[in-house]
Amino acid sequence: MLIRSHDSGFNHPHASDITPRAVYEGRRDMLRLLAGGAAGAALAGWAGREALAQAAPGKLPALAGVKSTVPGAQTMEKVTDYKDASTYNNYYEFGTDKADPAKNAGTLKTRPWTVEVEGLVKKPGKYGIEDLLKLSAQEDRTYRLRCVEGWSMVIPWVGYSLAELIKKVEPQGNAKYVEFLTLADPKTMPFVGSRVLDWPYAEGLRMDEAMHPLTLLTFGMYGEVLPNQNGAPVRIVVPWKYGFKSAKSIVKIRFVEKEPGTAWNKAAANEYGFYSNVNPDVDHPRWSQATERRIGDGGGLFAKRHKTLIFNGYEQQVGQLYAGMDLKKFY
Ligand code: MTE
């Protein structure tokens, strides 16, 4: 996002880092078996052990969900290696370099954690993270995340539709947008004092976008709780929009009547709009959005580029939300 360089290609991960999907899935099956008490049988399997050793560091508590049946929730594309997904991050509160969040986010204190729901709802309230985790059944969903900078990943997330929480708090008729505010704690987040963005990091969705079943209130990835650098303990993931719409480490969800200001729009309104739907036909003012580099493909500057898809490939599911809208104007 930062103005100085866009997807320079440096810092790229190696092809050897790629985790075959089968390995990841083997591990996921294993976690399920363990949860079901079939530990002995699972451990006997060489494949299971191998999977555990390779796919993820395994340092975080397991968080497995049931396979989601929401249309679009299961891409068949190759899953990005956990190592890449957890070390190549944008989380500006912890620094602007892709490697900074993984290095610095250890200071983030994710317990106790409260998410406050306020504004135009009949049932405002404070949700402790443990209650929020249990509010609905956790689901496994594999989404493509496309960053506005021109790279993408495929990540297996764990969470449930934000709509489940929205239904519980009963929005009033005049609630047209949902605003997300994230933690801004200068004591634990070294870059919150910087002037790169207006803190706290803020994002927003129109109510129908927020209610769309694909919009995920996210607590985990790769069958474990989120690592801090990926937005622990709770974030949003909106798969058809550029990654910056997916606010990390949320502390407040506010229902409002008017389109809320958002962090990147305030920083550079001509570059980052409110909608920010992935769109290969609407270029960023300083670069094309027609193609993307898949993290993990290797090859650096010469990496094979993939064609970017309208709505990041989720047109069938979300295209109708924007029927009749000029997507060049509402970028
Ligand atoms: N949320 C907060 N609080 N701060 C941030 O800097 N960066 C955004 C988004 N959410 C960001 C954030 C951007 S630009 C992207 S691309 C995604 O997080 C990256 O998510 P990932 O690191 O899990 O891939």
Q: Could you give the 3-state DSSP secondary structure of residue 257?
A: coil
Is 9 within a domain? no
Under the banding of pLDDT at 50, 70 and 90, the label for residue 326 is: very high
% residues pLDDT > 90 (the chain): 79
Q: Give the pLDDT confidence score for residue 2 in this predicted structure.
A: 64
Is 112 within a domain? yes
Q: Give the pLDDT confidence score for residue 300 in this predicted structure.
A: 75
Mutate to test the pocket of ligand 1, among 7, 80, 205, 246 (most ligand atoms within 8 A of CB): 246
Is 303 within a domain? yes
Please state whether beta strands 250-256 and 114-119 pair in parallel, antiparallel, or not at all (unpaired): parallel
Residue 66: is its pLDDT beyond 50? Answer: yes
Across 81-92, average pLDDT: 97
Is 276 within a domain? yes
DSSP string, 212-244: STT-EEEEEETTEEPPGGGT-S-EEE-TTB-GG
Write b or e for each residue in 56-83: b if 16 or more Cβ atoms lie within 10 A of its Cβ, otherwise e.
beeebebbbbeebeeebbebeeebbbbb
Across 69-90, average pLDDT: 96
Residue 233: is its pLDDT beyond 60? Answer: yes
Whole-structure pTM value:
0.86
Is 328 within a domain? no
Rounded (5°) CA angle 92-153-329? 70
202 beta partners? 181
Q: Give the pLDDT confidence score for residue 56 in this predicted structure.
A: 65
Q: Give the pLDDT confidence score for residue 223 in this predicted structure.
A: 96
Q: Is the CB of 209 under 6 A from ligand 1?
A: no
Under the banding of pLDDT at 50, 70 and 90, the label for residue 59 is: confident
Interval between CA 274 and ligand 1 midpoint (Å): 15
Main-chain phi, psi angles of 205, to 5 degrees: -135, 155
Q: Give the pLDDT confidence score for residue 299 in this predicted structure.
A: 77
Q: What is the mean pLDDT of the chain?
A: 87
Q: Give the pLDDT confidence score for residue 303 in this predicted structure.
A: 82
Is 190 within a domain? yes
Interval between CA 88 and ligand 1 midpoint (Å): 10
Please, are residues 154 and 82 in contact by the beta-carbon 8 Å criterion? no
Q: Give the residue from 285, 282, 279 showing the smallest Cα distance to 312.
A: 279
Write b or e for each residue in 222-242: b if 16 or more Cβ atoms lie within 10 A of its Cβ, otherwise e.
bbbbbbbbbbbbbbbbbbbbb
Please state, in angstroms and rounded to a whole number, the distance separating the CA atoms of residues 50 and 23. 8
Mutate to test the pocket of ligand 1, among 80, 90, 110, 197 (most ligand atoms within 8 A of CB): 90
Mutate to test the pocket of ligand 1, among 155, 244, 264 (most ligand atoms within 8 A of CB): 244
Is 92 within a domain? yes
Is 201 within a domain? yes
Residue 63: is its pLDDT beyond 50? Answer: yes
% residues pLDDT > 70 (the chain): 83
Under the banding of pLDDT at 50, 70 and 90, the label for residue 302 is: confident
Q: Which of 17-31, 238-252, 316-330 has the lowest mean pLDDT?
A: 17-31
Q: Is the CB of 230 under 6 A from ligand 1?
A: yes
Q: Is the CB of 145 under 6 A from ligand 1?
A: yes
Q: Is the CB of 94 under 6 A from ligand 1?
A: no
227 beta partners? none
Q: Is the CB of 274 under 6 A from ligand 1?
A: no
Across 117-144, average pLDDT: 98
Domain total in the chain: 1
Rg over CA atoms, the chain: 19
Q: Give the pLDDT confidence score for residue 51 in this predicted structure.
A: 41
Please, are residues 179 and 121 in contact by the beta-carbon 8 Å criterion? no
**Structural domain boundaries, residue 53:** 15-322
Please, are residues 237 and 214 in contact by the beta-carbon 8 Å criterion? no
Residue 28: is its pLDDT beyond 80? Answer: no
CATH number, residue 52 = 3.90.420.10
